Amino acid sequence: MSAQILDGGATAKTIANDLIAEVSRLSERTGKRPVLATVIVGDDSASHTYVRMKVARCKKVGIEPRQITLPAESSTEQVTREVRKLSEDDSVDGILVQHPAPVQVDEKQVFEAIDPGKDVDGVTSGSLAAMAFKEQGFRSATPGGIMRLLEEYGIELAGRRAVVVGRSRILGIPMGLLLLAENATVTYCHSKTTDLKQQVSRADVVVAAAGRPGLIAGDWIKQDAVVVDAGYADNSGDVEFDAAAERASWITPVPGGVGPMTIACLLGQTVESHRRRHGPG
């Protein structure tokens, strides 16, 4: 393997240690701890496992986690009502609506009920606009975590050709917006793209976010490209790791690359929301 590892686990630990100190300082001054509220609908086992991980990480850095669990048969209006209550609750700093919701729930409508100042997962239209124009707001957690990881390792983006494979509202689309805001030349690829191999093979930076194991062959990767694999299914990523690592200059492992950075970004933005709402520590 010639590629160097973009170690999200190590970077996330550094961020967590910084957050512990910051939360302690803020809490001492305000008499309050930052609060992250999670809304989860239904009993999807993967979603509940992920929420438990977030709760554990919250407690580790001093953030107070709150969880609202709604029945699987809940309607869009019922979920939206709970989100609005949290938006109006002055003790709550951040709101996360766990994805995916059951099919009868309109996620976009639910997301838009989140107070933009508490949108620490970066899912509202306002947050997407802020990412596109580099305005004050919160980044989508996974793309934001990826950008922090690239920054940590000094990866230059300006002027480079970046390909994002995937166009979900919470990952692919905001990822491209953040790359564009850093002056990369961005191409989106998706299920209707007819020349995926050609697009990937020309990219200086590849962000795989399709959730389809092995979708991107390792020998498609351009020599010395940067590969960020944000796909995860069946304990595998979207990119053939071993073959890609022979060609890339930097690459994220799966797991241990993007995942820890997603949670680190979410927690960091929750603390930032608390700081904005109560003043600097």
Active site residue 121: yes
DSSP-derived secondary structure for 64-103: EEEEEEE-TT--HHHHHHHHHHHHH-TT--EEEEPSPPPT
Q: Is residue 198 within 8 Å of 156, Cβ to Cβ? A: no
C-alpha to C-alpha distance for 278 and 264, rounded to whole angstroms? 21
| Cβ atoms of 164 and 20 closer than 8 Å | no
DSSP 8-state symbol, 116: G
Indicate the helix (H) or strand (E) that contains 136. none
Is 93 among the residues known to form the active site?
Answer: no
Q: Is position 98 annotated as part of the catalytic site?
A: yes
Question: How far, CA to CA in Å, does 205 sit from each of 4, 189, 227, 263?
Answer: 14, 13, 6, 23
Residue among 121, 204, 229, 238 flagged as catalytic: 121
Q: Which of 25, 45, 12, 5 is nearest to 253 (CA)?
A: 5
Catalytic residue (choose from 7, 54, 118, 269): 54
Strands 161-165 and 185-189, by their bridges, are parallel
> Of 7, 98, 118, 119, which is the active-site residue?
98
User: How many helices (H) does the chain have, and how many strands (E)?
Assistant: 10, 9
DSSP 3-state helix, strand, coil percentages of the chain (rounded to 5)?
Answer: 45, 15, 40
Q: Residues with catalytic annotation?
A: 54, 98, 121
